[in-house]
Structure 1
Amino acid sequence: MTFSILAVDGDGAVGMAVTSSSPAVAARCVHLRAGVGGAASQNVTDPRLGTELLDALEAGASARDALDGVVRGRELIEYRQLTVLTLNGAAATFSGARTLGVHHAQAGSGVVAAGNMLAGTGVVDAVVEGFERSAGELEERLLAGLAAGLAAGGEAGPVHSAGLAVVRTVPWRETDLRVDWSDDPVGELGGLLELWLPQRDDYVTRGLDPTAAPSYGVPGDE
């Protein structure tokens, strides 16, 4: 049903991109915390697990210890697929025995990807390789990874939703883009990112100091 990528840029940013055959996948699966790291909770999703993973990282646990602590003794955990990534790029993954269809997880340098109901395990490997071969902003590299996975076969069926989010130094998502239902969610996500990136930093400035941010010419915006 889903494949995703979590990655860091080495300068304090952590982000995630995800796509799925089900609607509004990013609303359930993306978990990021500035200064802490990221986590994905997917397959038969329990969003509480993403929050618990980030809480464990923030308390000082390693990626592996955070994941082991969340999984240990957890009811229905065999239905879950989880990834977790620290700001320094350390990753851990878990795919329960009831993870759907063909599934796989793979970690690279500062990146981890996982998926279920895949066309093949090579989809996840392609996501990691696509990210590692790419350049640019973290948002652009996450999208490159997602697109590489789709080109490698993606899910066993068509995907219909996608999302991309990144946190950096402020305590909110600097980028938070979603396509909740579409015949081309990854392509539309790319269009949204192209629109968003030139404005991203200005909206951070608006939050911190509205007097220093430019106007965008919309009604009431001066």
Structure 2
Amino acid sequence: MTFSIVGRCAETGQLGIAISSSSIAVGARCPWLRAGVGAVSSQNITLPALGPQILDELAGGLVAQAALERTLARNGYSQYRQVAVIDAEGRTAMFSGEHTLGTHNAVAGEQCVAAGNLLANGGVIEAMVGAFERSGGCLAARLMNALQAGQAAGGEAGPVHSAALSVVDDLTWPIVDLRVDWAEENPIDELERLWLAYQPQLQDYLIRALDPTQAPSYGVPGDE
């Protein structure tokens, strides 16, 4: 039903998630990030509350594994959950309950952890981790490469319909937050097109927010 990768950039400290699912609007329920704290993908039979609760535990000083375990114990029904976590130091944790759907897998790599369920094959997740570790460029680009690698390795057992990419840096809002809530086919390709269109404008939007006096032209009628 879902496959995702949660990652950190060792150079910048950025945290991010790339995710795709057969369900509608996966970006509305599964990825959770907080700058300087961590990133969580809560998936399978999703309980969205797990994301912010794990982030709260990380912010309170717990490492990734302890934050995951405490949150799962508090909420119950952990046998139905699949969760991937990375904290601000790059420590990872992962969990797949006994009722995780279909072929499923979760693998930690260097500064990343990937997880998926209802997969075409277990190698999808290894392919994602390998692609992330080999990729250069910014974190968002590396996450997109990993998501594409997962799709190329077989992806889900059935068609996927939604995808999302989110990255936080040192601000209180995401510097990248892109979603394809529904596509009849190829939402990952559509997400990559969104990313490639957004990437050249990313810094402009940050400048506009932080120092409007230096903001680039908006390119709309009335803008001087």
Correspondence for 1:87:
88
How far 1:220 moved relative to its partner?
4.2
Q: Which residue of 2 aligns with 1:167?
A: 168
What SS does the corresponding residue of 2:32 show, helix, strand or coil? strand
Which residue in the other structure is 2:97 paired with? 96
- C-alpha deviations, 1:122-165, integer Å up to 9, x for none? 00010100111111111100000000000000000011110000
Q: CA deviation at 1:206?
A: 1.2
2:204 paired residue number: 202
Q: In the alignment, what sits opposite 2:51?
A: 50
Secondary structure at 2:175 match in 1: strand
| Aligned residue type for 2:175 | E
The equivalences for 1:19-34 within 5 A come to 19-34=20-35
Aligned ranges 1:4-19 → 2 under 5 Å = 4-10=4-10, 11-19=12-20
Residue 149 of structure 2 aligns with an amino acid whose one-letter code is: A
Which secondary structure state, in structure 1, belongs to the residue aligned with residue 140 of structure 2? helix
Whole-angstrom distance in 2 between the partners of 1:152 and 1:94 = 22
TM-score, normalised to structure 2, is 0.97
* SS of equivalent to 2:130: helix
Partner of 2:192: 190
Counterparts of 2:22 and 2:100, CA distance in 1: 15
Change (3 A) 1:73 1:177: closer
**What is the distance in 1 between the residues matched to 2:93 and 2:36?**
18
Aligned equivalents of 1:2 and 1:150: distance in 2? 11
Between the aligned partners of 2:16 and 2:113, the Cα distance in structure 1 is: 11
Q: Secondary structure at the match of 1:118?
A: coil
**Structure-2 separation of matches of 1:211 and 1:220:** 17
Q: Which residue of 2 aligns with 1:154?
A: 155
Alignment partner, residue 77 of structure 1: 78
Q: TM-score, normalised by structure 1?
A: 0.97
* Displacement after TM superposition at 1:191 (Å): 0.6
Identity %: 54
Consecutive unaligned residues in structure 2, runs of 5 or more: none
- Corresponding residue SS for 1:94: strand
2:218 corresponds to which residue? 216
Deviation at 1:32, TM superposition (A): 0.4
